[in-house]
Chains A and B, each alone.
Chain A
Amino acid sequence: MNISRFIYPLLILISSLGASGEESPEIPHIRQILLGLEVSGPGAYLLEPEVFTGQLSAAYEFRDHWFVAAEGGVLEVLADKADHRYQASGLFLRLGSDLNILFRPDGRHRDKVILSARYGLGYTRQEAPYIRIVDPYWGTVETEIQPESIWAHWLEVGLGLQAQLAGNVYIGWALRPRLMLYQTQTQSMQAYRISGFGRNTSSLTLGFQYSLYYRIPLGSQSR
């Protein structure tokens, strides 16, 4: 097992911090657009088939190594069990900025170490048409939860790595703590998942994304 491909950018970063005096010919930096497809959501679907999340992203390098980024996606939850039926669906959008802190003027590699900040906005609609709660002492109660909508917004800050797989195809992960700023107070039940935020168990959660990226060079040389 080898995860060096993913640790490698960090090692380069560390070594580049200490490097000095080594002259290499500079290669003009070419700005880019990165289009991303999150694969960890569909991967998790194999383990928890009741929950599906999908996400696309785009990042535009508006200034050398600085990106303005947008991520959008969907959430679908459908649990149809003997003692409960629950369904939820939602959309989300995250906007923010990335900074690639792994860059070298000689352009010897294109891997990235990304610092990210995002503002997230999510809409989730949930209902539970059938709930049966069995209490061994008092007996069984059956109830339901009518459809209700939840708006939420939150902040994310984190770190990610992107490694070049081949040509303009990259793969990478991002680890971002998420801090809930606001969510609609529901009448009958707290949302199980917030679209784009994840499990709604705490106002602070840890988000993990694993994505494939396609790089589109913009061709404009900044130097």
Chain B
Amino acid sequence: MAPLKRLAGILLLLFFAMACVEDEVCEEVTANPLRMGFYLFQNGQDETGAVIDSLSLYGLGRQDSLIYNNRRGVSRVEVPLDPSADACGFVLVFPAGTTDTLFIHYDREPHLVSVECGFIMHYVIRELSFSQSVIQQVVVHDDQVIKNPDEHLKIYLPPADTD
């Protein structure tokens, strides 16, 4: 009987060890978007969130493919950085058709998520440039785009262009 108990204990612990292996859904773990939040710009930078009545957004040179299409009540957006280049741009179309363009320069590093799910690109934001039709300021809040849930950029807007 004792050997059976020992065997059971061994199997139980092996099962426990195996259960610790994480199950991964590759579609979820391979998405690594840049997150941008909108804030009010009044008396300098303010941490009061801004809600844009209507926003369209597309990658520079990809106006045929909208990432956001007249999205209502936008306070935060997620966009993919171009994994094949060290920089990419996004065009933001605000209410009344006013547009701004935001350029993001970054370093890239392939990262192996798991042997099953493969690689994603990690980014480190190096430099920003942007037009200022509506946008007042853009601040890098977290320069590491590595699947962290935080906002990476804070975009400051005047109160008139938000709700």
Contacts and interface: CB of A to CB of B under 8 A. Distances in A.
Interface of A: 1-6, 40, 43-44, 47-48, 50-51, 77, 79, 81, 83-84, 86, 128, 131-133, 135-141, 143, 145, 163, 165, 171, 173, 188-190, 192, 208, 210
A139 B115 contact: no
Nearest to A86: B112
24 contacts: A1-B9, A2-B12, A4-B5, A4-B9, A43-B18, A47-B18, A51-B115, A81-B115, A81-B118, A84-B119, A128-B119, A132-B118, A133-B83, A133-B110, A133-B119, A138-B59, A138-B81, A138-B82, A138-B88, A139-B84, A173-B13, A189-B109, A189-B110, A190-B109
Interface string B1-34: 0000110111011100110110000000000000
Contacts of B112: 84, 86, 128, 189, 192
B109 A44 contact: no
B104 to A, nearest CB: 13
B contacts with A: majority SS: mixed
Interface string B22-64: 0000000000000000000000000000000000000100100
B109 A77 contact: no
A133, A143, A145 interface centre (most CB from chain B within 10 Å)? A133
B72 interface: no
Given A40-B17, A83-B118, A210-B14, A1 B110 contact: no
